[in-house]
Amino acid sequence: MMEIKGLAVAEKIKADIKEKMHIISQKGIDPKLAVFRVGEREDDIAYEKRLIKNAKELGISVERILIGDCDSFEKFQHEFSTLNDDKGIHGIILFRPLKNKVWEEYAKNNINPDKDVDCMGYNNLAKPYLNKFSGILPATPSACMEILKYYNITLKGKKVSIINRSTVLGKPLGMMLLNENATVTFCHSKTENLKEITKNSDIVITGIGKAGYFDESYFNDNSVIIDVGINFDDDGMVGDVKRNMGNKVRAVTPVPGGVGIVTSSILFRNLLCNIDI
């Protein structure tokens, strides 16, 4: 079995970022990411800590904005548009989902696309669909593509099945794969004979959120599997694919240590991509 770990891919992307940061800082620019948190959700706080740690490692400044769940919409709007307009802020990550869907919709409709490093706005979200493949792109789909590219997995003409049809993962990833001339099948919970489809694919990308759901019966000896699932069972974190698939397939990304760590480096690449050097 071929190892297709995320670490080497993430390291490569980070090295590119550091190189770019070197040039940027020589020009006197201090790239800054704004992380905007509403309320005290545990997940958000953990994610915020990770982002700050990763940013620090890359020499990227972070500005934290925190408002309460019960603050007014006007306050949210004010804070958000201040970030949007501030020339010293290069990217904004707003932790979602927000309790208040009106706030979330406002942010999606109003975020400056050049700062929308997390692709929450419709503008950046729809880019791969509209054949726009430069600049800021959705992070998780980009991470999958980077892994496939890094490990020289042929895409042209190959059958790829994606078991996910969301606008944040399956759809943009499918558009990116189509752009590389793969033959792309979108599967989901209503798909009949899923096993037959995945078994007949060269590459399978799973994003269903069910711990260890896919065992060897879904694949063939030559399958390349990108596991985007992040789930937890009694043994800790696990993807959508059963652990220890051993020599039963050609390659599978581990969870943890696969797509996730690449995704976070893509966010920072997105942050820098609108800074001209």
- List residues near its own copies by CB under 8 A: 122, 125-126, 129-131, 156-159, 165, 167, 171, 174-175, 178, 181, 183-188, 190-192, 197
DSSP-derived pairing of the beta strands 203-206 and 183-187: unpaired
Strands (E) located in 43-128: 61-67, 91-94
Give the whole-angstrom CA distance, residue 173 versus residue 167: 9
- DSSP run (H or E) holding 56: helix 42-57
Give the whole-angstrom CA distance, residue 57 versus residue 39: 26
Tell me if residue 185 falls in helix, strand or coil: strand
Shortest distance in whole angstroms from residue 263 CB to its own copies: 21
Q: Which is nearer to its own copies, 45 or 168 (CB)?
A: 168
Give the whole-angstrom CA distance, residue 243 versus residue 248: 11
Residue in 68, 63, 72 with CA at minimum distance from that of residue 93: 63
Shortest distance in whole angstroms from residue 260 CB to its own copies: 25
Q: Which is nearer to its own copies, 193 or 217 (CB)?
A: 193
Q: Which is nearer to its own copies, 92 or 187 (CB)?
A: 187
Shortest distance in whole angstroms from residue 115 CB to its own copies: 19
Shortest distance in whole angstroms from residue 178 CB to its own copies: 5
Q: Which is nearer to its own copies, 165 or 248 (CB)?
A: 165
Q: Which is nearer to its own copies, 70 or 130 (CB)?
A: 130
Shortest distance in whole angstroms from residue 122 CB to its own copies: 6
Edge-to-edge strand list for the sheet holding 32-38: 61-67, 32-38, 91-94
DSSP-derived pairing of the beta strands 61-67 and 183-187: unpaired
Q: Which is nearer to its own copies, 79 or 180 (CB)?
A: 180
Shortest distance in whole angstroms from residue 39 CB to its own copies: 26
